[in-house]
Amino acid sequence: MIYETIDLYDYFKIGRGGATGGYLTAYARSQLSELYRKTRPAILVIPGGGYGMISGREGEPVALEFLSKGYAAFQLKYTVETAYPVPLNEAVMAMRFIRENAARFQIDPALVAAIGFSAGGHLAGLLSTVTEEEAQRAVGVSDKLVRPDAAILSYPVITMREGLTHEGTRRISSGGGQIDYDFLSIEKRVTKECPPCFIWHTAADTCVPVENSLLLASACRSEGVPFSLHIFERGWHGLSLCNEETGGQTPEDAEHVRVGKWAELALSWLSSRGFSVKEAEA
pLDDT given at position 234: 85
Amino acid identity, position 192: K
How far is Cα 87 from Cα 74, in angstroms, rounded to an integer?
16
Each residue's pLDDT tens digit, 122-131: 999 999 999 9
Q: What pLDDT, on a 0 to 100 scale, did the predictor assign at position 181?
A: 97
| Residue pair 43/75 in contact by the 8 Å Cβ criterion | no
Q: Picking from 3-12, 67-76, 236-245, which range would have the lowest pLDDT averaged per residue?
A: 236-245
Residue 86 has pLDDT above 90, yes or no: yes
Q: How confident is the model at residue 32 (pLDDT cuts 50, 70, 90)?
A: low
Q: Which carries the bigger pLDDT value, residue 249 or residue 51?
A: 51
Q: Sorting pLDDT into bands at 50, 70 and 90, what band is 25? A: very high
Mean pLDDT over 59-65 rounds to 97
- Report d(CA 1, CA 24) in Å as an integer: 16
166-206: pLDDT as tens digits: 999 999 999 999 999 999 999 999 999 999 999 999 999 99
Contact 61, 40 (CB under 8 A): no
**What pLDDT score does 250 carry?**
57
User: What pLDDT is recorded for position 215?
Assistant: 98
With a pLDDT cut of 70, the percent of the chain lying above it is 94
The answer to whether 201 and 106 have CB atoms below 8 angstroms apart is no
What is the average pLDDT value for the chain, to the nearest integer? 93
Does the pLDDT at position 100 exceed 60? Answer: yes
* pTM, full prediction: 0.95
Task: Give the confidence band of 34 by pLDDT, cuts at 50, 70, 90.
Answer: low
